[in-house]
Structure 1
Amino acid sequence: MLQISRTSCYPRKKAQRDESTPTAKVGRPIPGYSYGINNCIVDDSVIETLLHEACEKYPFYGYRKITKILRKKHGLRINAKKVYRLSKKLGLLLPYVKHTKQGHLAIARELTGMNQLWQIDIKYVRAINGQFIMLTDIIDVYTRKLVGKEITKTATTNDALVAIQRALKENNVTRNIVLRSDNGPQFTSVKFEHFCKTNNIYHELIPTNSPNYNAHIESFHALLEKECITWNEIRDFTHGYMLINDYIKFYNDERIHGSLDYMSPNEFIRKTMN
């Protein structure tokens, strides 16, 4: 319309920003406090002290679980973003670990309560003096509770049977239980299969080289390694027995799980099973 050629027009270059020019911060300023019980103001310095105490008691918790601890034990109205910021400032953040996605179980079971599906496995721990501590343990998949254990110097079929007998007795289970295990010699023996049949236990084996089929008990062993064994120098069998036994009690009574709405297994059972 103006009789101007398109090729004679060029776009205007954007003005380059001077790096030395300060830019305005985006977002609201950091208040420096949070609210606690009865809407009282809690200064960030106090929160940092509580954060130090929580991280000393639970050095294996990430900032999300620490947030739950601060809310539950101290009544703080605080979000995970602030805990992350303060933890980063104080150097309390755990190193980031990239998790790989696991496949689903080939045998899917719809669980509606505890004592329907158990998983059993054996954990080997070596002490400084060369002794081995063998932990044969059983976990309930629905509640994540460790329902049975046997800590010995050996890992035989008899040790596994003792752990199962103790779990059946302490949880008042007499029938309709599925027990899943790997293909270890303790679990494929004739004696083990005979015990399962006489005690109304449906025993199923996972495919070879497929630990993700036993994911819950494998996850517990990873937590035991990360939160107990690597934090202590286990001197001998007696020392290891005490540490592992104490950790199992802590795991069932206190350790919170994201999959249980940040409750411990026993707390989850009390609130949902009764």
Structure 2
Amino acid sequence: MKKRYSEEQIIKAIKQHEAGAKVDDICREMGISSGTFYNWRSKYAGLEVNEAKRLKELESENNKLKKMLADKLLEVEAMKDVLFKKVVTPAARKPVARHLIDAFKLSERVACKLAGVSRTAFRYCHKTKPDSEVRSRLKELASQYPRYGYLMLHGLLKGEGLVVNRKHTYRLYTEERLQVRTKKRKKLTRPRQPLEVPTAPDERWSMDFVSDQLSNGRRFRVLNVVDDYSREMVGQLVSVSISGRQVARFLSQLIDQREKPAKVICDNGTEFTSKAMFFWSKETGVELGFIQPGKPTQNAFVESLNGKFRNECLNQHWFRTMDEARYEVDLWREHYNNVRPHSSLDYLPPVEYAKRAA
């Protein structure tokens, strides 16, 4: 599987940073972490993708500068091209009206009429709102977790005791322009198989693999094991190659750390259908439940977890070594289990939800 961004997009992001853009803004727009951006810069800084394309961009910028200079010389053309087409919000029109008053010595009435803003709005002075602390913390969390929506951020703020009403959080979220673009998923046309919901922790686990690659192109896999009741990430095994014997040994280690589940749901991969897993099931008494081939929705709990794991961890980091990948995966698992609000658990972290259920 290829990475989401090509060398041309990476160099473009570096150029934006050299032009004055903030690293946090670039990272949130592209959905990456700041560490990934600095890794990009250390490898691709000073490189060019296409000199011919760059020359074309310079010529286009030169033509725009010539047009702006000609518009400055003609007042009517400037008002049509700069004010009415580019300036659309009242907050952006107020500086234009002030510029007309100071530069052209126009009266307030005439300047406001040309700028398209009322005299009342022009004279209005913004008052500092008491939610400045919430705004500051909201932007910090949005920068730290660039793929979280407003409900997840609201859960974190609520856990810190800063907000109560999610509508208040959404208003601040939209005013600060922190919206995250999400991809529209295709609707399933086939009927879903009924899925039993467990009634207690460690009653049933689900497991599945997720693949990714290092910066040098070397592939590695991550085995995710989740508790279907509390949605807690029971464990993650990160390795270049994972066999059925390794899966059985890893599950035995997890059972030693917590209670043994009655059943483990998995797909029909060769690692799960191997002899090692068969004998492990016989020895431990844990039943292996295999879903129907081509029916990933029958293993919905771990499939949902895989999507969150890829979106919030794998896609945000540019791993250079396996040790770095294991370190970032361990950090994300700790955050997911103990801090991250879960929408299906009344926006409580999985560990907290399991404690309350117990």
Q: TM-score range by the shorter chain?
A: 0.7 to 0.9
1:186 counterpart SS class: coil
C-alpha separation in 1, matches of 2:180 and 2:159 = 21
CA-to-aligned-CA distance 1:209-253 (integer Å, 9 cap, x gap): 111111111111111111111111111212111111211111111
**Which residue pairs with 2:145 in the alignment?**
58
1:121 aligned to which of 193, 202, 208: 208
1:67–1:80 Cα contact (<8 Å) kept: yes
Q: By how many angstroms is 1:95 displaced?
A: 1.2
C-alpha separation in 1, matches of 2:307 and 2:197 = 25
Higher fraction of strand: 1
**Which residue pairs with 1:10 in the alignment?**
none
More divergent stretch after superposition (43-52 vs 179-188): 43-52
C-alpha separation in 2, matches of 1:186 and 1:87 = 44
Q: By how many angstroms is 1:131 displaced?
A: 2.3
State the AA in 2 paired with 1:251.
Answer: Y
1:150–1:162 Cα contact (<8 Å) kept: no
**Which residue pairs with 1:43 in the alignment?**
130
State the AA in 2 paired with 1:139.
Answer: V
In percent, how many aligned pairs have the same letter?
23
C-alpha separation in 2, matches of 1:124 and 1:114 = 27
Q: Where does structure 2 lack aligned partners over 5 or more consecutive residues?
A: 1-115, 119-126
C-alpha separation in 1, matches of 2:294 and 2:205 = 19
Q: What TM-score comes out, normalization by structure 1 length?
A: 0.77
**Which residue pairs with 1:245 in the alignment?**
330
CA-to-aligned-CA distance 1:31-78 (integer Å, 9 cap, x gap): x89xxxxxxxx713333212111212222221122222222213333x
1:231 aligned to which of 307, 316, 320: 316
**Which residue pairs with 1:87 in the alignment?**
173
> Are the structure 2 counterparts of residues 110 and 250 from structure 1 closer, same or farther at C-alpha, using a change threshold of 3 Å?
closer
C-alpha separation in 1, matches of 2:194 and 2:289 = 10
C-alpha separation in 1, matches of 2:156 and 2:275 = 47
C-alpha separation in 2, matches of 1:247 and 1:104 = 34
**Which residue pairs with 2:297 in the alignment?**
212
Q: By how many angstroms is 1:86 displaced?
A: 2.1
Map 1:145-156; keep pairs closer than 5 Å: 145-156=232-243
CA-to-aligned-CA distance 1:60-108 (integer Å, 9 cap, x gap): 221122222222213333x223322222222211114435566776353
> Are the structure 2 counterparts of residues 230 and 85 from structure 1 closer, same or farther at C-alpha, using a change threshold of 3 Å?
same
C-alpha separation in 2, matches of 1:199 and 1:148 = 18
**Which residue pairs with 2:154 in the alignment?**
67
C-alpha separation in 2, matches of 1:159 and 1:105 = 32
C-alpha separation in 1, matches of 2:161 and 2:346 = 18
2:262–2:287 Cα contact (<8 Å) kept: yes
1:136–1:163 Cα contact (<8 Å) kept: no
> Are the structure 2 counterparts of residues 104 and 64 from structure 1 closer, same or farther at C-alpha, using a change threshold of 3 Å?
farther
1:241 counterpart SS class: helix
State the AA in 2 paired with 1:189.
Answer: S
1:136–1:159 Cα contact (<8 Å) kept: no
The number of residue pairs the alignment matches comes to 233
Runs of 4+ aligned structure 1 residues displaced above 6 Å come to none
> Are the structure 2 counterparts of residues 105 and 178 from structure 1 closer, same or farther at C-alpha, using a change threshold of 3 Å?
farther
Higher fraction of helix: 2
More divergent stretch after superposition (96-105 vs 121-130): 96-105
**Which residue pairs with 2:344 in the alignment?**
259
1:131–1:237 Cα contact (<8 Å) kept: no
State the AA in 2 paired with 1:55.
Answer: A
Map 1:171-210; keep pairs closer than 5 Å: 171-173=258-260, 177-210=262-295
1:230 counterpart SS class: helix
Q: By how many angstroms is 1:262 displaced?
A: 0.8
C-alpha separation in 2, matches of 1:110 and 1:45 = 43
1:134–1:152 Cα contact (<8 Å) kept: yes
Query: Over aligned residues, Cα RMSD in angstroms?
Result: 2.3
State the AA in 1 paired with 2:286.
Answer: I
2:248 aligned to which of 147, 152, 161: 161
